[in-house]
Structures are given as structure tokens and as C-alpha cells.
Structure 1
Amino acid sequence: MPFITTVITGATSGIGRETALALAKKDHAIYMLVRNLEKGEEVKNEIISASKNKNIYVVECDLANLESVRNAADVLRSSLLGINILINNAGGIFGTREESADGHEMTFAVNHLGHFLLVQCLMPLLERGQARIINVSSEAHRYTDVKFNDLEWRSRPYSPWKAYGNAKLFNIYFTRSLATKYGTKGISSFALHPGLVNTSFGVGISGFGKFLLWLARPFMINAETGALTTIYLATAQRIDSKSGQYFKDSRPVNPSAKAVDEKGRQQLWDISMEMVGTHLV
């Protein structure tokens, strides 16, 4: 029987699917949090067939809907004694400004806020499992336009690339906050850049951004290669001393200067807690 319990978002395609498959082959019990249950069941069966590991489970979770996130956490809390690995992998970029079910800008909601709430709701299980929390960020965190009085692009022209860069910066802020706030409780956290991966990422982008993606396509890596750093962080031994750090090609690297801004990190935490507060009761 598997003795490592791993929860992962965004596991129905791309690097999330490759990560789930690789960890299933290492006998992890995998809990896939998915928006589309039909697709989730299909991928679950594919992973079971390829890994010979029957301990693969699907839980409905729409990160753009905070009630759905809370419900998914409730399902896990009623099913599990602890979580050893949580991989916040799901993400996306949106070509135009859209809003989530809760009225939040979609890039912010899917890449950051949904995962933020998920971690808060799962904290008892994460503490019990002495968990590693792995946040899939990006080198896009170096290209940002963060305004804490307008995180959701309500009063300025929307930029999909800068909104995405902001969200990936927030993944690193979140990682560092978790390491600071929960390290003494046995929890470690890591952020990573998976590489420029040839997946369906950016499918909704148009104009010059779409042209740039087209130019980059020949230089992109496949999803299996893109998953390697996540897999490393989920399986490597004796890396807890590197908690809070940002990884690329399976080794720690320095993020941007903005990513280590303590004031910004705490501002994001406080704003996020206020946004999800009613779902924590």
C-alpha cells in the first residue's frame, strides 16, 4: 500500500498529468483535484493503466470558485488522515479580463487565490502529514506590474502577460510566507519554474502575444521534461533546509529582487486572507 499521499491540482493535462503519472509509478496515492470530472476520470484510468497503481482518486475542484475549493477540501478532510505532498500546479493566462464566480479577476483567482484557500482549508492535514507544498511558478514572475491597490486590474487597462507575471510572483510570495509561518510545524514549501513547456498554455491569447508564443514554440520542451523539477521536489530527500526557495532545473536559483520583498509578501498574505475569510469559517 502507498504510504505517501499526494494531492495535485491541474493534473488532467500537461505537466500536471506527467507529474501525477510519475508519482503514481513511485507508489504515491494520488488525489487529483479537477474542474472537469469526466476528464479527470479518463486521466485517472490512464494513470492506473500505465502505473499499475490503483490508488488514484478524483475530487471535483474549480479553483475559480471558492465554494468549490472549500468543498474539495472538505472531501479530503473526510477521507484522509494527513497529506504528505500538495502540488499547486494548475494555472492559466487569460487574453481578456474575466471574473471568477466570486468576482475576482481570473488570472489572480486561478493561479493564486484558489490555491491560497485550498492550503488554508487543508492545513490540519498538511501539518499532520509534515507536508511539502510545491507551487508551480514561472520565470514570468520577473515581468510584473503589481499595484496592491488594484491587484485585479479594475481601474487600469488589463495586460494578460503582466497579470500572469503578477500571479507567478504571488506564487513565490506564497511559498515564502508558508515557509516563514509554518516551518516550525514541520511544513516545507517550494516554488519552481518548470521551463517553457509546449502545452495548451496561452491558447486564449491573441495579437502580438500569440505571435511571440508561435516564435517560441520550436524552443519549448515537452510536458514530461517540464514536470521534472516538480517531481524532484516531491521526491528528493533532505531538502527541507531549502524551504521557501525558488527552483529551476531541479536546483535553487535566485528569483527577482521583487520576489524577496518582505513588505509585498505580507501585503499579499493579508489581502488574500481577507478575500477568502468567509470560506474559512
Structure 2
Amino acid sequence: MAAITTIITGATSGIGKETALALAKKGHALYLLVRDVVKGDELVRQLKQQTVNKEIFSVKCDLSDLHSVYTAAEKLKSRLFAINVLINNAGGMYPMRKLSHDGFEMTFAVNHLGHFALTMHLMPLLQKGQARIINISSEAHKMGKPDFDDLNSEKSYSSMRVYGAAKLFNIYFTKSLAEKYRDKGITAFALHPGVVNTAFGAGAGGMTGFFLTIARPFMITPEQGAQTTIYLATESGLHTKSGTYFKKKKLAKVSSAADDAAARERLWQVSEEILMAHPAGL
């Protein structure tokens, strides 16, 4: 039987790395989309040493650069016939406002826009593979209040506020994928991995940094944090739950804002418009 082909972003550390290791052990053919090629190649070497799996590869992809996303997608399309699992795992929180290569606020660019572009560019292969698309969200989405008139946070900036909005966008994207591609064999899931002890949020100042420092001794390990992602990537019989949000491998409630169908559709339209206006296109 052919190996399951799985794409993972943000696999060089934290829960992404633990997810990659677990799926490598299960025999998935893994394509690790990495910003740092040196780290990516080292991870490939480590995973091959730790498992009998030789079908592990790294592909350069900087989610804050839409041209890099497009180039990575084209490389995958030239090598693969179908994709069975796409794990949009990479994310980031930035203590100070900064802009992506394309001029978008970095939290929005990395957590949502880059993954939206990647998923859309790979959609032909995802449909061929009847794929599961797994988006790493967070309970922080419950703090999210999208402002479509200020997606670049030019009026004001708070790292937790924009992060909460980005995690809410992950749930919007999940629900939209499940709805729009239901008849194409696509299923989509969002999840909260838990409060994981990783380098995430390193350098955060103010109250965010203070709370991260206090909470760190009580955080779960990256291996524990990866369990819901691994479950959603491998468990059978989940197709009826497409479009839902999981925590600790169980269905979980989302905020009332996450059920706003009009906001969900607006995010999709805005994201499409951004990509169509970019030289890489859709």
C-alpha cells in the first residue's frame, strides 16, 4: 500500500517536530516545509536515524513571503501526485509590530495568510488525495476580535490581541474549507494543542512575557502538545466532524465569534483578493 503523503509546516521545533517524529514512525511520506533549510536538513537526518522511514524531505518555505510559499507549492506539485494530510502547524507571536516581506502585519501573515496561500496553491493535490487539512489554532481565539479595516494593525498593536485574531482566523479558515470543499472529499479540523513549553513567544515583553514566565513550569511538553494533531492526522472515521475544533483529542467549544459566518466569508474573500493581487497569484 502506498505511503500516506503528509505536509507539515513549522516542523523544526516544538509540537511540529514531535508530530513529524510520530508520523515518520507510522510510515508517512513526510515533506517538511521549513524556513531554515539547515535546520530542516538536520531534522530530516535525525528523523531518518530514529526511524526506518527514508521518505522524509525538507522544502524551503517562508510563510511570511508569498513568493516563497508559491515556489514551495510548485516544487511539491512537480514531485507529488496527491497529498493526503496537510498540517498547517507553523505560527508566531511578535512582541513588536513588524511587517512581512509582502508588507502585511507579521502575525496575520505567518499564522493565516501564508497557510491560506499554501493550501490554495496545493488544492489540486489535496483534492486528489482526499486530504485532511489540520490547522493549529488555540484557545487564544476566544480573545480574538477581527478588525477587517485594520488587518495590518496600523491603528494600534497588541501582540496578544493580534494573535487572538489570527487564531480565530484559523478556525474561520477551517470551517470555510469544510464547507466549500465538502463535495471534493476534503475534511478540515482546527485544534488547541494545549499550553506547551516551547520557544514560542520568546522575547515577548510586558504582561505577555510576564504570564509566559509564570506559566512555564505548568506547561505540557511538546510531545504531549502534539497528541491532538497526531490524532487528527491518523484517526479513522473523522469525516463527519469536518469543520470542528478539538482539544485533548475531543471536540471542544469555540467562541461565539468563531461561529460568525459573515466574518468567516469576509476573511476568505479578503484573503483571496490579497493573493490575486500578488505577483504569485492564486
Shared fold per TM-score greater than 0.5:
yes
1:143 aligns with 2:180: no
How far, CA to CA, are the matches of 1:204 and 1:32 in structure 2? 26
Aligned to 1:189: 188
Paired positions, count: 280
How far, CA to CA, are the matches of 1:210 and 1:146 in structure 2? 23
The answer to whether the Cα contact below 8 Å between 1:2 and 1:28 also exists between their aligned partners in 2 is: no
Structure 2 matches for 1:64-83, cutoff 5 A?
64-83=64-83
Q: C-alpha offsets along residues 39-79 of structure 1, whole Å, 9 cap, x if unaligned?
A: 00001111111112110000000000000000000000000
Q: Secondary structure at the match of 1:254?
A: coil
Structure 2 matches for 1:1-281, cutoff 5 A?
2-154=2-154, 156-277=155-276, 278=278, 279-281=280-282
How far, CA to CA, are the matches of 1:157 and 1:263 in structure 2? 24
The answer to whether the Cα contact below 8 Å between 1:2 and 1:29 also exists between their aligned partners in 2 is: no
TM-align CA RMSD: 0.9
How far, CA to CA, are the matches of 2:237 and 2:207 in structure 1? 44
Which shifted more, 25-34 or 211-220? 211-220
**Percent identity of equivalent pairs:** 56
Q: Could you tell me which amino acid in structure 1 is paired with residue 44 of structure 2?
A: K
The answer to whether the Cα contact below 8 Å between 1:117 and 1:276 also exists between their aligned partners in 2 is: yes
The answer to whether the Cα contact below 8 Å between 1:25 and 1:52 also exists between their aligned partners in 2 is: yes
Structure 1 segments (4+ residues) deviating >3 Å: none
Q: Could you tell me which amino acid in structure 2 is paired with residue 8 of structure 1?
A: I
How far, CA to CA, are the matches of 1:118 and 1:37 in structure 2? 18
Where in structure 2 are there 5+ consecutive unaligned residues? none
- How much has 1:112 moved relative to structure 2? 0.2
Q: Could you tell me which amino acid in structure 1 is paired with residue 248 of structure 2?
A: D
Q: Secondary structure at the match of 1:8?
A: strand
How far, CA to CA, are the matches of 2:160 and 2:137 in structure 1? 14
Q: Secondary structure at the match of 1:75?
A: helix
Q: Secondary structure at the match of 2:181?
A: helix
The answer to whether the Cα contact below 8 Å between 2:11 and 2:90 also exists between their aligned partners in 1 is: yes
Q: Could you tell me which amino acid in structure 2 is paired with residue 85 of structure 1?
A: V
Q: Secondary structure at the match of 2:100?
A: coil
Where in structure 1 are there 5+ consecutive unaligned residues? none
- How much has 1:2 moved relative to structure 2? 5.0
